[in-house]
Amino acid sequence: MHPVRVALIGVGAIGASHAAILLSSPLAELVVACDTDPNAADRLPPGVPLVSSYSELFDTPNLEAVFICTPQAAHRLPTELALARQLAVFCEKPIAHDLFDADAMISAARDTGGLLAIGHTLRFDPDYISVHQAVSNGELGTIISIACRRNIPDYEGRMIAGRTTLANEVLIHDIDVVRWLAGDIERIFGESSSQGIIGPGLTEAVVATMRLASGGVVTLESNWVMQSETGPQSDFRLSVVGTLGTASIDFFQGPVSVFANRPRFPLNGWLADVYGTSVGTLRTEVEHFLRCVRGENTWPISLSDARAALAGAIALDASIRLAQPVTLSDIS
DSSP string across 78-127: HHHHHHHTT-EEEEESSS-SSHHHHHHHHHHHHHHT--EEEE-GGGG-HH
Q: What is the pLDDT of residue 233?
A: 73
CATH 3.30.360.10 in the chain is located at 123-274+308-331
CATH 3.40.50.720 in the chain is located at 4-119
This prediction has a pTM of 0.95
How far apart CA 307 and CA 84 sit, in angstroms, is 21
CB 67, CB 145: distance < 8 Å? no
Q: What is the pLDDT of residue 269?
A: 83
233-290: pLDDT as tens digits: 789 999 999 999 999 999 876 778 787 777 777 777 888 888 888 889 999 999 999 9
Q: How many helices (H) and strands (E) does the chain have?
A: 11, 15
**Residue 38: what are its φ and ψ, rounded to 5°?**
-60, -25
Q: What is the pLDDT of residue 290?
A: 98
How far apart CA 239 and CA 327 sit, in angstroms, is 24
Within 13 Å and on the Cβ side, how many CA atoms surround 4? 25
Mean pLDDT of 152-160: 91
* CATH number for the segment(s) 4-119: 3.40.50.720
How far apart CA 84 and CA 111 sit, in angstroms, is 9
Residue 227 in this model has a pLDDT that exceeds 90: no
Q: What is the pLDDT of residue 253?
A: 63
Residues with Cβ within 8 Å of 107's Cβ and at least 6 positions away in sequence, in order, are none
End-to-end CA distance of the chain: 40
Higher-confidence position of 203 and 229: 203
Residue 126 in this model has a pLDDT that exceeds 90: yes
Mean pLDDT of the chain: 94
Least confident range of 188-192, 206-210, 267-271: 267-271
The CATH architecture assigned to 123-274+308-331 reads 2-Layer Sandwich (3.30)
83-103: pLDDT as tens digits: 999 999 999 999 999 999 999
Q: What is the pLDDT of residue 257?
A: 78
103-124: pLDDT as tens digits: 999 999 999 999 999 999 999 9
> What letter would DSSP give residue 42?
G
